[in-house]
Amino acid sequence: DQQVKQNSPSLSVQEGRISILNCDYTNSMFDYFLWYKKYPAEGPTFLISISSIKDKNEDGRFTVFLNKSAKHLSLHIVPSQPGDSAVYFCAASATGTYKYIFGTGTRLKVLA
Amino acid sequence: GAVVSQHPSRVICKSGTSVKIECRSLDFQATTMFWYRQFPKQSLMLMATSNEGSKATYEQGVEKDKFLINHASLTLSTLTVTSAHPEDSSFYICSASPSGGDTQYFGPGTRLTVL
């Protein structure tokens, strides 16, 4: 039972354009969501998060949107840069658990 | 800051042997450490949560006698895969939290191959 789903295993985007990575979840108890970026041979690093009381959180080139009714979140990267090429994981947790449920990841390739 | 290391990065062992993986927080004290496992093309799955000085809490389906976790200090947790079998071959990754879990810093992972 995959509670957090990233249905696109890979995505290619031209440098300078927008990258949109999507994530869906099924558990309505989830109220905190995170995006992690992972380079080969390294552990995931935290990118951006959003609480369910908000529908948007922005940090520089990265914006996360949350649609609670659709149980969907997305990560927008604008403008995309070659250094953004990595695997992106979304994760979700419920209040008080600190237990992260991860998606399967989307491999983003930004073409120069 | 907030660096987490794992050792070894790769290990190959024979079936039936035990393998120990170390997870260290290098520049902070980790009250809580988490162990994850990732099979190819699958998500990181939480195996267990450990708090310094107490027994680990295992997720459903994870055998605590097979995956021994020790969190003896605020900077070190170890995962021992006992009597390893080929199906235990996976990518094991730890994370450490200075604050009980809301902020987790991940290690680089350990690739275990059991022959």
Structure tokens at A65: 């949107």
Judged by CB atoms closer than 8 Å, whether chains meet at A41 and B49 is answered as no
How confident is residue A98, by pLDDT bands cut at 50, 70 and 90? confident
Cα separation, A55 vs A71, whole angstroms: 11
Residues of B in Cβ contact (< 8 Å) with A41: 9, 108-109
Residues of A in Cβ contact (< 8 Å) with B6: 43
The residues of chain B scoring below 70 in pLDDT are: 1, 101
Q: Decide if B98 touches A, using CB distance below 8 A.
A: no
Burial B72-106 (b: 16+ CB within 10 A, else e): eebbbbbbebeebeeebbbbbbbbbbbeebeebbb
Q: Decide if A89 touches B, using CB distance below 8 A.
A: yes
**pLDDT-above-70 percentage for chain A:** 99
Q: Decide if B2 touches A, using CB distance below 8 A.
A: no
